[in-house]
Amino acid sequence: QGKGKGKGKDKGKESSGKGKEKGKSKGKGKAKVEWRPKVEVEGLGRKKIAEMSMEVRDDNPYSRLMALKRMGVVENYEKIRTFSVLIVGIGGVGSVVAEMLTRCGIGKLLLFDYDKVELANMNRLFYRPEQSGMSKVDASLATLKSINPDVEFEAYNRNITTNENYEHLLGRIKNGGMDCKSPVDLVLACVDNYAARMTINQACNELDQTWMESGVSENAVSGHIQTMIPGRYACFECAPPMVVAAGEDESKIKREGVCAASLPTTMGITAGFLAQATLKHLLKFGTVSNFLGYDALGDFFPTYAMAPNPDCGSNQCRKRQQEWKDRPKEAEPEKKAEEAPAELHPDNEWGICVEESTDAVATPEPPKEPKVDTTGTSVADLMASFKKLTSG
């Protein structure tokens, strides 16, 4: 981590220094102006804000978020500050989700990744060229802190699929809440491989932790998010990828030597779905779909529920299924009797009386529009029928 961070800083200093030297040596005309983030130029971003305010002011970063409360969308938006979310995978989807939640004022984010920023990542959102070589958690931490200093962060440059790091992941899920004792409120999986998904699935089944999984297809034109509530919905092992279900080698899921396509549009849309579902789940508004897909080629957004598999290979999943069946049923809220509408003007000060009239003129029926029978017709026949209607 330290090395990645140092390299990123050194590169930034060297590039800005060269720009100054060129400007001075020419002596004529304007010196070359190089763009640098405002935070680096001025030293610090905005100060921390103790409480969210609904006051509509240009310098209030929460005024438009708090408007959700004023408009009746969210009952108590300030509660966002009490939640902690753990994100595994700070890549094309995870980094954008982290930024969105940071801008929304989430209480705490715990970030896990072990990869480095590369120039090959620049077709996506969030990361910048000067961050190349830095670990993704260090690069994202610097950016996110500058966006919103009110959010608490924990960053771990670790591969969660190793035994040691798996135990560390379990510990942070169990004790990563705002008080560092309680569990996190939600886990988000933004990883791109089967092993990491299975690791997160195992940890969340073991701890009875709600989580959301996400993914983008290899050809970059489809994506999905899936809500996993242990015992209620199918876990990742309940409905594994086709290759695994057929008993083939899981390594075939991600083909060796094949460069997967990547579109910032599909990544951003999937990240938006995931961040939106996170807000709805935490703040209790709207409907959180069990599965929501996105097909860019057909502009298709499938959504459906996935029941858990009673024969799931995960013992912990089967245990959670039984617990869900045995849970006490929630009492249905009592329906209030409808009250009769109040009389608007009981005094009738002006003595107004409404009477039915027998001399009312019948309203003529509007002319019926001619209909075209489209059953079994070709496009040419259909267009000919439309021409007759318009010319007649």
Per-residue pLDDT of 69-80, as tens digits, reads 889 999 999 999
Percent of the chain clearing pLDDT 70 (strictly above): 69
Q: Name 57's Cβ contacts closer than 8 Å, sequence gap at least 6.
A: 63
Encode pLDDT of 317-353 as tens digits: 999 999 999 988 876 666 666 666 666 666 777 777 7
Look over the chain and give the mean of its residue pLDDT values, rounded to a whole number: 80
The answer to whether 104 is a known catalytic residue is: no
Instruction: Pick the most confident of 2-6, 53-57, 180-184, 366-370.
Output: 180-184
Mean pLDDT of 274-278: 97
What's this model's pTM, rounded to 2 decimal places?
0.72
Nearest to 86 by CA among 196, 195, 183, 18: 183
| CB 144 within 8 Å of CB 188 | no
For residue 360, what pLDDT is reported? 57
Encode pLDDT of 198-237 as tens digits: 999 999 999 999 999 999 988 889 999 999 999 999 999 9
Helices (H), 208-241: none
Dig out the tokens for 330 from the structure.
């929630």
Q: Which of 238, 259, 312, 353 is catalytic?
A: 259
Nearest to 23 by CA among 34, 13, 33, 31: 31
Nearest to 115 by CA among 99, 97, 135, 100: 135
Q: Name 200's Cβ contacts closer than 8 Å, sequence gap at least 6.
A: 88, 160, 169, 187, 189, 191, 211, 213, 236
Residue 5 has pLDDT above 50, yes or no: no
Encode pLDDT of 30-60 as tens digits: 444 443 444 443 445 788 888 888 888 888 8
Q: Which helix (H) or strand (E) holds 223?
A: strand 222-228
